Structure 1
Amino acid sequence: MDSDTDVNRTEPLLALRGISKRFAGVRALDRVDLDVRAGELHVLFGENGAGKSTLINVVSGTFPADEGTFHFGGEEIRHLTPQRARAIGISPVFQEFSLVPSLTVEENLFLGREVSNGGVLLAREMRKRATALIDELGFDLDPSQRVDDLSRAHQQMAEIAKALLGRVRLLILDEPTASLTERETGRLFELIARLKRQNVGLIYVSHRMREIRALADRVTVLRDGRHIRTLEAASSTDGELVELMTGRKIDLLFPAITHQPDKVMVDVENLTLADGSVRDVNFYAQAGEITGIAGLVGCGKSELIRAIYGLAPIASGVVRLDGLPYEFPAPRRSLKHGVAYFPANRIAEGLALSRPIRENASMTALDLPAFARFGMLRQAAERVTITGIMERLQLRPPNIERTAGALSGGNRQKVMLGRALTRELTVFLFDEPSVGIDVGAKLEVYEFMKRLVEAGAAVIVVSSELPEVLALSNRLYVMHNGRIAAELKGAEKTEQNVLASFFRDHLTAEVA
């Protein structure tokens, strides 16, 4: 993890001027300027589709700019490739991991830069260097473990370690905390502070205001592929950043929701899952309200709603839907019972990225007569229905024949929400609904939930974002180590009480 400590602080480490990039006639970047100084953390801020991903792909050599100039360390750089970027000290950590699942952590770290002598791999030397780096980073990571056996959080750690193996002058982090626990996030922040002291420049992409406040020196706002403004983080307000990002004033991030709790729609009694991630949980959700589940990554909150939908095997306990026992839950049966699930990982579980928006939005309704007759798809009816749904959800652009993979995170979430409008549903399970989407898209998702609740649906929201789950929910469960640590409502529903539930449960466990 070497760094360049002799960089001239008056000259930017990275200087981009007039960078433009087109894809299939669409202008993803339009004459963008960006400076990053050595020892600075520079946040890229913008809605999904604003050009952030395209810009960091240009910086890391994934694809070339169509026009503009690129200077790094005072030298003009042309014909940049990912290999050359790494060689000159530019290391990216993307949201979509570049690890090979069938290889170990250490094999991934040294892939393409193996240590050898006379054509013989020096496995012991690579193990030693991998262990030293992971220890230095403070990550709880086993170098000999296969990547496909790791949790997403540990894969994120492996990706960061891979980026820091060698001489790093500019580190690019794209939503790096999305999969990390609070403790792991703290470790990452300590690492960032250390890198800054070593004069490493950082480009940091995040939608999380608290992270921007904690880390940023400067913030560059992008909108519609254009550079809107670069601001000093210390002298800018959250409202100012959001207004620059969206082009409009946003007074309230969370809508006022009228909760009118009615009958119990989901009732879970003494639920324990086969993998032990949830143990002896009692939980219920009513029609006409949002029931929140808060907790750190890995606490069992996601596994709980996955079990209700039929995606995680149940060892013991009872699930009831609308007062009736629901044995052997399965996704197809859950849909027929009026239950919808929206996974946190839209890429792996939510969408078929190579298929059109139309097919992705209709796939949960193909058993309905409106969409199919005698086993044959009624394509004209499908097209009319999905077009109407996507217009209601303000999909931009509204072309339902585009592939889901071509969409931004916010629009991908809208396609998944569209499925809920294709059939009669009464229970909605949201797992990390705002992960990877910008403020504007979050507002639209929250408004969607508001409409569902006020129409009498039962909505369950699982979230690691405390402000989100506190603001949206009428009742809030706190989970810790697979168990319910607290149920909070009314005036009890505060950030302090949620955090106290984490620590109280943790201390009790330690004493026991």
Structure 2
Amino acid sequence: MAVAPLPTAPAPVAPGTASAAPVLSLRGIVKCFPGVRALDGVSLDVRPGEVHVLLGENGAGKSTLINVIAGTFAADAGDYLIDGMPAGALTPQRARALGICPVFQEFSLAPNLTVEDNLFLGREPRRLGFLDRRAMRAEARRIIADLGFDLDPARTVATLSRAHQQMAEIAKALLAEPRVLILDEPTASLTESETEKLFGLIERLRAEGVAIIYVSHRMPEIRRLGDRITVLRDGRHVRTLPMAGVTEEALVELMTGRKVEVLFPHIQHRPGEAALELRGLTTADRSVQGADFVARRGEITGIAGLVGCGKSELVRAAYGLCPLEGGEVRLFGETFRHPSPARALRQGLCYFPSDRVAEGLALERPIRENASMAALDEAAIARGGVLRRAGERGLIQRTVERLALRPAHIERPVGALSGGNRQKVVLARGLVRDTQVFLFDEPTVGIDVGAKADLYAVLKELAEGGAAIVLVSSELPEVLHLSNRVYVMHRSRMIAELSGADLTEQAILSCFFAETGDGRTGREGVAS
């Protein structure tokens, strides 16, 4: 197939105005995968100087659409126009040459290379036939400083936190001077101050006439940034409308096709015996110091705190993923010596990691294997060391149907699922065993309102059924509405336990913003 020439840009127009001609137009885009029609006649216009929000439940087609825009997937039907001219056969490289720069939720960085190398990968500057390291270094430092990110260009990507990897992805996209910038859940791993820097950058790019496609499930972000919003449902275009004046309730109804009166269910907490106790717990890396904590049967116990406060490390240590320096872990009144994931599972304790891709799932393997991998010693799945395929299939099928996983085809690779459905597969792993203590670490990161409602319904069922649930979350409304008691961590220490009338947003925030020993306040990473 002949490759169309790069379109010539039209005369400049006032960015962000209704009269501005679209820089990118999609008409009737169709994309099919085996057994799935992911996009069914989707149309979209994006104008220069606007933030166009793409909204929909997980599985609605957002990821497929931005992959079509970025040239990763070829559309099966429909028209793709840049400045009103056909874009021709697109590849990721050609899309970047057209000024279309995506920042995907799943990073595309080479882990063994430095940040600097990743920024210039495939477009390395040369001088006299040799790699111009000096120019690369200077330009990398310039773009990172311009963004205001705390990022060392000489660091190897594999040694970076997820937040710093997110910064590297954003810097990489902006180095190409995009005309269309795609941001897919860009704040999922950023602290509050880093998020504010990103928002300032978005405002600046909008003023410069860059068209921005913004994908997020966070309503405050959408309201703050969006000019227009396009809602997808089940692979179809539902509606495009101005952000001004639209209510959250209307957006949820457009996304789900149903009215959602209350997102958070009412949970009948009936606290019983102590299921998990931590006494003076200190990790070897000192990310947790002297923590005391109790989770009881029949209730959800929340853990709140700023990014880096130690809340995630606390539950990882209880599960045996972080070495201990001191303290004690007790399960159902008995000392749990030398915690390890295998022993924890046998004792009825299951942990659900915040990073589903890196730690939770084998993306190339089917749903069935991912859901059953922690239960291969269960009689329903194996007997005498031999896997019982029929028993495994039956158990996993019943479990994913209970979780409303869509579609519930258990032989489908997990990598083909949306974020919300991936989280349900991780959750299924704990439900196929006799699990009595559930440790959830940021369970709703990157999932939509419909998938959140499904997850909350499962948490309600488990708590009211007598399980002990520990909920680590950076989303204050989530912690406040679901938890019976909330512990607050600050700078590696447990500083408060709140319940009843004392459990308020103001009380939690007062702990977040309390002065530390060095006179600073902790304002990093608040999600409200």
TM-score (norm 1): 0.96
Partner of 1:416: helix, strand, or coil? helix
Q: Which amino acid aligns with 1:308?
A: A
Q: Which residue in 2 is equivalent to 1:347?
A: 357
Q: Which residue in 1 is equivalent to 2:159?
A: 149
Could you give the per-residue CA deviations for residues 430-469 of structure 1, whole angstroms, max 9, x where no partner exists?
0111112111111111010101111111100001111111
Match of 1:6 among 4, 12, 18: 12
1:49 aligned onto 2:49: no
Equivalents in 2 of 1:143, 1:387: separation in Å? 47
Q: Which residue in 2 is equivalent to 1:443?
A: 453
Aligned 8 A contact 2:367 2:414 in 1: yes
Change (3 A) 1:495 1:326: same
Could you give the per-residue CA deviations for residues 66-125 of structure 1, whole angstroms, max 9, x where no partner exists?
121122234321112211211121110001111101111011001111111121111111
Q: Which amino acid aligns with 1:478?
A: V
Aligned 8 A contact 1:485 1:505 in 2: no
Residue 381 of structure 1 and its aligned partner are, at CA, apart by 1.5
Worse-superposed segment, 464-473 or 21-30: 21-30
Equivalents in 2 of 1:250, 1:509: separation in Å? 44
Worse-superposed segment, 480-489 or 31-40: 480-489
Match of 1:433 among 421, 437, 443: 443
Q: Which runs of 5+ in 1 are unaligned?
A: none
Equivalents in 2 of 1:21, 1:362: separation in Å? 31
**Percent of aligned positions that are identical:** 62
Match of 2:434 among 418, 424, 436: 424
Q: How does 1:194-273 map to 2 (within 5 A)?
A: 194-273=204-283
Aligned 8 A contact 1:5 1:198 in 2: no
Q: Which residue in 1 is equivalent to 2:342?
A: 332
Aligned 8 A contact 1:7 1:73 in 2: no
1:93 aligned onto 2:103: yes
Partner of 1:33: helix, strand, or coil? strand
Could you give the per-residue CA deviations for residues 249-289 of structure 1, whole angstroms, max 9, x where no partner exists?
11000000011111111111121111221122111111111
Partner of 1:275: helix, strand, or coil? coil
Q: Which residue in 1 is equivalent to 2:288?
A: 278
Change (3 A) 1:167 1:379: same
Q: Which residue in 1 is equivalent to 2:44?
A: 34
Partner of 1:452: helix, strand, or coil? helix
Residue 480 of structure 1 and its aligned partner are, at CA, apart by 2.1
Query: How many pairs align?
Result: 509
Aligned 8 A contact 2:441 2:472 in 1: yes
Residue 22 of structure 1 and its aligned partner are, at CA, apart by 1.2
Change (3 A) 1:506 1:184: farther
Change (3 A) 1:418 1:47: same
Match of 2:131 among 118, 121, 125: 121
Q: Which residue in 2 is equivalent to 1:315?
A: 325
Q: Which residue in 1 is equivalent to 2:388?
A: 378
Q: Which residue in 2 is equivalent to 1:58?
A: 68
Equivalents in 2 of 1:189, 1:85: separation in Å? 25
Q: Which residue in 2 is equivalent to 1:459?
A: 469
1:105 aligned onto 2:111: no
Q: Which amino acid aligns with 1:16?
A: L
Equivalents in 2 of 1:45, 1:507: separation in Å? 43
Partner of 2:373: helix, strand, or coil? helix
TM-score (norm 2): 0.93
Equivalents in 1 of 2:461, 2:235: separation in Å? 32
Partner of 1:167: helix, strand, or coil? coil
Change (3 A) 1:297 1:502: same
Equivalents in 2 of 1:7, 1:168: separation in Å? 17
Partner of 1:235: helix, strand, or coil? coil
Could you give the per-residue CA deviations for residues 402-438 of structure 1, whole angstroms, max 9, x where no partner exists?
2222222222222222222222121100011111211
Residue 389 of structure 1 and its aligned partner are, at CA, apart by 1.7
Change (3 A) 1:506 1:219: farther
Equivalents in 2 of 1:25, 1:326: separation in Å? 47
Change (3 A) 1:203 1:397: same
Match of 1:296 among 273, 296, 306: 306
Q: Which residue in 1 is equivalent to 2:397?
A: 387
Partner of 2:513: helix, strand, or coil? helix
Worse-superposed segment, 34-43 or 418-427: 418-427
Q: Which residue in 1 is equivalent to 2:504?
A: 494
Partner of 2:514: helix, strand, or coil? helix
Partner of 1:282: helix, strand, or coil? strand
Q: Which amino acid aligns with 1:360?
A: N
Equivalents in 1 of 2:498, 2:120: separation in Å? 48
Q: Which runs of 5+ in 2 are unaligned?
A: 1-8, 522-528
